[in-house]
Structure 1
Amino acid sequence: MATKSKDKTKIATRKPWGRLSDDLKEKIICEIKSGMLSQRAAGRKYGLPSSTIGKWMEKHNLAILVHSKTSYELSAMDENQETKLLKKKIDELTKALADAQLRNVGLETMIEVAESELKINIRKKRGAKRS
């Protein structure tokens, strides 16, 4: 109990531009991933915007994808846990793909609008002559 109030006090008394330690960020993410708190509830508990916590979660998920230890984790799990982990990983990857596709569509739209309003060609023409 003492650690919870200590963490809460630390966050409440920090300067607005102060950064939180990676250990505390990790603790908040673990509470959310374990299902103890929702992202919004964690934001209320620790006095942080839920969008900030969401960005931490995205970075954490990307770090997990890059430094994946699933082969080690899978060998120590039974089939049910392995299935749950794989489904969770599929959901995370599906969400990451959807985000990337949405970003791509947004960038394409931005280029089209800029080309039509500024009346300049931004995209490189295929098959252009070499000099």
Structure 2
Amino acid sequence: MGQKLIEKEVIVAEYLAGQTTYRKLESKYGFDFRVIHSWVMKYQGKKQKLNMLVKPGEVEQPPLPTDVKALQAELRKARLHNQLLNAMIDIAEDQLKIDIRKKSGTKR
């Protein structure tokens, strides 16, 4: 009986750690996801105690992106695109003498 209680607490702690879903826990431990959900709701107030049961590294962490240069290049492209769009709006406003950007605080 005591072992089952500890197992429940570990499952709930793993869910509350935020790295998994009820369905994944169902397939990992063999308990129905609805039962696990009811345990989580029951133990929701005891989150701090349960987090101590899961040791760091015990819960599977998704891998971080390793291609930082590609992400930086994508960010650079997005910033340049934003600058281009702003320049186009400025030119259109200047040539057409029409305010294109919405002014903050205007009322309909």
The TM-score by the shorter chain falls in which range?
A: 0.3 to 0.5
TM-score, with structure 1 as normaliser:
0.33
Which has the bigger relative contact order, CA under 8 A and spacing at least 6? Answer: 2
Task: Identify the structure with the greater helix proportion.
Answer: 1
TM-score, with structure 2 as normaliser:
0.40
